[in-house]
Amino acid sequence: MPIVLIRPVAVGWKAHAALRRAGGLARVVAPLTASIYLEAGGEIVWLGRHDSPRHPRAMLAASEPSAVGQTLRIDLAGLDPWRPPRPRHADVTALRSAACDLLALLRQPRTDRVWPQGLGSLLAGVRPDFPLDRAVERVGEIAAACDRGDAERVMVAAEPLLGLGPGLTPSGDDFVGGVLFARHAVEPPGSAWAQAASTIVARAHDRTHPISAALLEDLAAGEGHEPLHDLVDALAQGAIEDAWRAVQRLGRLGHSSGWDMLAGVMVGLAGAAALPPLGR
């Protein structure tokens, strides 16, 4: 089967480094409708459409990605790798307050309202459908532990969520990743949260798909899709309308991945205040 040449228009730093190690060659792992997951240089990377959000592992192509051929040659000439910006400094109290303001906006009727999907429905007080309804108790435990700053309890409650839900990136993984992404933004390096995150990531490699485990590892290290970084940056500045626009972009990721990550971020920052009583 011939090797297919791809010339992306953008590349993330992890994808760039992996392809350099692999001499520009990448092997197709999982071709999806809007993206193609690949393996290059021992890393999971993916090729997406040009209008997809940037990510450290992503390459964006000007034309619709094609999985024709089991091996792709990626031409990175002239591309500067994208790396997420360093987060602005903001204390936990300020981020929690801004997160609560954003949640209030999310629950208001608006002409530009988008309805949360997956575990994101919990932010609106709606019980998710099976099998995600099994996550409700654990999500509540994680929220309470975040209020107490109890990293060990978050670690224990998070483990049953790993691999929960359909697809290559199950909702439980995305939610847990969102929680860890949020705590990475507010906790000092070397804290108990860093150890808890490391343990969760290690367990994910045994409990979920390798693609999802790789993305969870990124989130635990404070790296993810560009709208996530825009969201936390906007919250740090108290710019709630900018945060709302980031939520709208995030909500378009996958079937429910963006909403699952948002739920995790909101729980990680606001704790139990992110979860209103369930209406059904």
Sorted by where each begins, the domain ranges of the chain are: 4-74, 92-274
Q: How far is CA 4 from CA 28, 73, 138, 206, 232, in A?
A: 11, 6, 45, 33, 38
Question: What is the overall mean pLDDT for the chain?
Answer: 92
Sign of CA dihedral 57, 63, 66, 68: negative
Residue 93's φ and ψ, nearest 5 degrees, are -65, -45
Residue of 260, 79, 90, 69 whose CA lies nearest to 169: 260
pLDDT digits (tens, 9 = 90+) for 153-205: 999 999 999 999 999 999 999 999 999 999 999 988 888 999 999 999 999 99
CA–CA distance, 81 with 89 (Å, rounded to integer)? 24
pLDDT digits (tens, 9 = 90+) for 151-165: 999 999 999 999 999
**61 has which bridge partners?**
8, 49
Contact 261, 249 (CB under 8 A): no
User: Using CB atoms within 10 A of its CB, is residue 118 exposed (0-12), middle (13-18) or buried (19+)?
Assistant: buried
- Least-confidence region, from 73-82, 99-108, 110-119, 153-162: 110-119
pLDDT digits (tens, 9 = 90+) for 226-269: 999 999 999 999 999 999 999 999 999 988 999 999 999 999 99
